[in-house]
Amino acid sequence: MNKIWNFLRSMRFGILLLLLIALCSVAGSVIPQQREIAYYAQNYAQLHPAILFLKLNNVFESWYFILLLALLSLNLTLCSVVRVVSLVKDKRILQRAGLLPDAEQLTAAEAEQLKTHLEKELRCKPTQTEESTVYSKRLYGRYGTFLTHLAILLTVIFGALALYLPTITDETCMPGEHITMPDGTQIAVESFRIENDTGELDYSSEIRVTLPDGRESEVSRIRVNYPMNFGPYKIYQQTYGTAGSVTAENLESGKKEDFTLTESVFLTLDGQSGLWYDTLYPGYIMEEDGNITLINNMVGSYEDPVYQVQLAENGEYISALAFPGDEFEVGGLKFHFNDPVDYPGLRIKHTPTVVNILLLSAFLLMTVGLYITFFLQPVVVKVSSTGYAVGGPKPEGMRLHLETLLESWRRRESNEEESP
């Protein structure tokens, strides 16, 4: 049982867990997460069975990743508890310092002068032992490694909260419009493009976020795997779509209204006559006999979009195809077909503000722990009537300081004796 206990709190086990978590994180970063099964079959032809079996398509919610986080938390907890208990119980540091052999002999005058320097100039705390006085400084430095381990543990715990507590919402939004979240935050899509200026595929959106308190972000361009962070929100470019665009003009009043169409809809004044929008095709092929073959699938922007509609009037329906720029008059309305509108599908991740505050606190605590560990190590100096010795984890700095100080004292005293 002791062997299991010692292994669970060992540094070797902790490093192994960190390596495994790092490997899972790399896999989760390289392989797009939470996509449809067809996506992995299409993009990872040979590897997709292994990806699905190992749950690499949703690695951060897999049972083994959660288990690794739990074991790392256990390892860090055991390390922290054992370390702090040993530090609290270990009150013999001053007693052990009092038993240090003299590193250098002192005269009685030098010993008194050194005591005064340690107490008045270096502000060391004196503790009287049986045969000497022990001066200590920065004894709290012993807790540096404990604070560092505690900060790593809190980072793992709060990081897990940041991973599993956020709410994720998938939304579509037309360029020039905005989405209002439940807390009042507005996410506006300034623009969206499928291709860049050189014609290469570049699914990207320009996003602006306005928080309920009035804070507003700069316009940021997001792409696949390059999300935007602002406040408690993280916004991803998730998918895209293309919508039909029709302008309807009332022939009697002259009033116009624009419609962006993503699904079948009936545009009418009286509920009987009007235009029934069916779907939008990305392109077509004109056959030699004049017939048109419609293209169902296309990657990128629609090159030759075709509207499929039905004209309803007097109880009769006439199927028709329309191209951008075409116009139909039916039911007292004139319908003008515009160029289609490309729009983004956004994945919006909301993390509670308190989780971000806790994570920042853990990072701050880690910084403090590391600073104490490397720069504020405790130092003890034993001074007796015959000599002195320096102890502590890193005594070199204090030892050099005292050697230089004593040398200067003795040189000054020698010069005073030689002067007439």
pLDDT digits (tens, 9 = 90+) for 149-201: 889 889 989 988 888 889 999 999 999 999 999 999 999 999 999 988 887 88
Query: Could you give the CA distance from residue 79 to residue 72 in angstroms, rounded to a whole number?
Result: 10
Q: Which residue has the higher pLDDT, 87 or 318?
A: 318
Over 90: is that where the pLDDT of 371 sits?
Answer: yes
Q: State both tokens at 395.
A: 């005594």
Q: What pLDDT band is residue 349 in, cutting at 50, 70 and 90? A: very high
CB atoms within 10 A of CB 62: 16
Q: Specify the 3-state DSSP secondary structure of 415.
A: helix
Q: State both tokens at 3.
A: 């062997």
- pLDDT at residue number 335: 97
- pLDDT at residue number 162: 86
Q: Which DSSP category does 229 fall into?
A: E
Provide the residue ranges of all domains of the chain, joining segments of one domain with +: 2-67, 93-138+377-408, 167-241+344-352, 243-340
Q: Which DSSP category does 118 fall into?
A: I
Across all residues in the chain, what is the average pLDDT? 89
**Mean pLDDT for the stretch of residues 61-65:** 90
Tell me the pLDDT tens digit for each residue of 106-165: 888 889 999 999 999 999 999 888 778 999 988 888 888 888 888 988 998 998 888 888
How much of the chain, in percent, has pLDDT values that exceed 90? 49
Q: Which DSSP category does 269 fall into?
A: S
| Cβ-proximal residues to 32 (8 Å cutoff; 6+ apart), any chain | 39, 57, 224, 225
Which residues is 133 bridged to in the sheet? 128, 383
Query: Could you give the CA distance from residue 180 to residue 349 in angstroms, rounded to a whole number?
Result: 14
- Helices 353-375 and 144-164, axial angle in degrees (round to 10): 160
Q: Which DSSP category does 117 fall into?
A: I
**Mean pLDDT for the stretch of residues 281-309:** 86
